[in-house]
Chains A and B, each alone.
Chain A
């Protein structure tokens, strides 16, 4: 437990909700990105899952829209300490996208337009735990929040929910992504406060 800060008094009253350690509640939707927001024309957009054998599975924007959508309402937790509760999204479950993919890989490296990457165990993308989303709170997903489409993996810190997602590379080994290779945690479970490497 931390040492007491002399004279510090709690201002925020988030006690009716259970937040991961070190997180505070926000009503805004702050933004965290390493660089500028890319501009991605929909007629050139595609999402590609590449298996460890090199086989590729592709969806254009229109094809993605035609797939049955889900509307998850989830809590999100950013490593910069804010949490936002009850956010609602619309998109396609990764279970559906992975349905016909032949793989024995254990890991996925998500790639984004603009060059961003993040790594996850493949099992964290399956069983109703992850989506490719293109709507937020009933409107199309704004570019600064990852539009046209982003990965949504709400049980991990939000940097794992790659904005501007372009594809998944499935592989047998764990390859560190962008933030993971500059000191952030490999897995990023907010409930175990896995912010930084070694946590």
Chain B
């Protein structure tokens, strides 16, 4: 019998604005047991009347002692995401438990090529993998395809720019669905087979594929990868929510 995942009280130590609508929360969690990139936590909020509600948030960075990072995309009208991005302040407590999930994970000891495909905030657990790769000085060939609405919706933009410059074997492509940067050759449109062929790995390279984002996005990308010849058993998916880009 495994021990129960206990609720822990975390304290907000700082924040980083990632996009106009997404915020990284730097949390101190005394006694945090560590985690594997790709895992998530459950966050629980409670109001003064005792009403409480839970949501899942991916861990954005590899384990670092008691420090845990989450990146939360503000969903309009969202009960939890609006609280975490608008009201929750440095020094405030929040309850969380984890780490959760042992399937949508990447172990830095793996050497096989990896394809990461993210829609919007779906990049969060994939960023933990990219950061873990750097930390472990892994040379596993990595490709990230990130689908975002517009240039201002790019998460972790400067860190990813530096990473492609400094870290051998990491390629990053951004595809835009609503508005592309001026001068870009690809008109804004939803991700399709041509993007996955151009920026991904050929199926013969047998990459492990991690696809994360809104349900519709994940459904479409995973099906397209199968259509391109990728073995379904090498495609791992994580679906964040009902709607979105």
Contact = CB atoms under 8 A, between A and B. Distances in A.
Interface of A: 1-12, 22, 24, 26, 28-38, 80-81, 114-115, 144, 178-179, 181-183, 195-199
B239 to A, nearest CB: 6
B233 interface: yes
Given A1-B50, A30-B215, A7 B87 contact: yes
B53 A36 contact: no
A12 B5 contact: no
Nearest to A198: B4
B223 A37 contact: yes
B222 A8 contact: no
Interface string B16-53: 00000000000000000000000000101111111111
B160 to A, nearest CB: 26
Interface stretch (B58-66, B90-98, B166-174, B196-204): B90-98
B195 to A, nearest CB: 17
B239 A33 contact: yes
Contacts of A199: 4-5
B236 A183 contact: no
Q: What is the size category of the interface that chain B forms with chain A?
A: 35 or more
Given A5-B47, A12-B79, A198-B3, A22 B239 contact: no
Contacts, number: 126
What secondary structure prevails in chain B residues at the interface with A?
A: mixed
Contact of B93 (A5, A22, A36, A181): A5
A37 B3 CA distance: 33
A178 B233 CA distance: 13
A198 B5 CA distance: 7
A4 B93 CA distance: 8
A168 B7 CA distance: 36
B237 A33 contact: yes
Contacts of A80: 56
B232 interface: yes
A32 B239 contact: yes
B15 to A, nearest CB: 15
Contacts of A28: 242-243
Nearest to B215: A31
Contacts of A81: 42, 54-56
A32 B222 CA distance: 13
A22 B215 CA distance: 21
B208 to A, nearest CB: 11
Given A12-B53, A35-B236, A5 B101 contact: no
Given A11-B77, A11-B79, A196-B100, A35 B222 contact: yes
B158 to A, nearest CB: 31
B176 to A, nearest CB: 25
A37 B83 contact: no
A12 B218 CA distance: 27
21 contacts: A1-B46, A2-B45, A4-B48, A5-B47, A5-B88, A7-B83, A7-B87, A7-B89, A10-B53, A11-B78, A22-B44, A33-B237, A35-B232, A36-B222, A36-B237, A81-B56, A144-B219, A178-B103, A179-B103, A195-B42, A199-B5
Contacts of B218: 31
A124 to B, nearest CB: 20
A2 B218 CA distance: 34
Contacts of B45: 2, 5, 8
